[in-house]
Chains A and B, each alone.
Chain A
Amino acid sequence: DAGITQSPRHKVTETGTPVTLRCHQTENHRYMYWYRQDPGHGLRLIHYSYGVKDTDKGEVSDGYSVSRSKTEDFLLTLESATSSQTSVYFCAISEPPLTEAFFGQGTRLTVV
């Protein structure tokens, strides 16, 4: 299995609180991604990074920010969590153009 770890695996938080999810890799892959998965929508890209301190927005980036200060870590922050951000969040890593993307096990976030 590719060395990719998400933490925490499960989290329940209250509306309005900040939340940070962590993705850690040991593969030295250049690209890292954050996706959310909701019923009826499949996986949707939130943000991705193509290098240290190099990030770009995905299709559902509103309400989320990311940071990548080291190759191995990609952080996703919800500055003020809302109930619409209840979802399963997946981190992925890739070394384009031909290597496959490896996914973490996911983080189930519930905002109450």
Chain B
Amino acid sequence: KNQVEQSPQSLIILEGKNCTLQCNYTVSPFSNLRWYKQDTGRGPVSLTIMTFSENTKSNGRYTATLDADTKQSSLHITASQLSDSASYICVVSAGNQGGKLIFGQGTELSVKP
């Protein structure tokens, strides 16, 4: 069964601190892995997308890593800001054309002043 599991389920950090979110997946055939940010009441917005051959990708203060051998990914947020408070969702794209998206349950991040 295709599954994407994220940890922790929720996280509270102080503004300015760094944090790392984890994603483990069992999806076949694997096409790519994406991290999304979802603000309350809005649709998810893409942060990064990585293929099988990519180990790391950055988008500003967000850096995603991928280990295709262990089927693990992480999202590192540097120098957190209050606006980073959101749900972060790991999504693995499956299927030969990569059209089937499997979502993790998300990590709820709260950044406090």
A residues touching B (Cβ–Cβ < 8 Å)?
A: 30-31, 33, 35, 40-45, 48, 50, 90, 92, 94, 96-98, 100-106
Contact = CB atoms under 8 A, between A and B. Distances in A.
A97 B101 contact: no
B101 A92 contact: yes
Contacts, number: 62
A103 B43 contact: yes
B31 A97 contact: yes
Nearest to B87: A42
Chain B contact-residue range equals 20 to 34
A94 B99 contact: yes
Contacts of B103: 35, 42-45
Contacts of B100: 45, 48
Contacts of B75: none
Contact of B49 (A48, A90, A100): A100
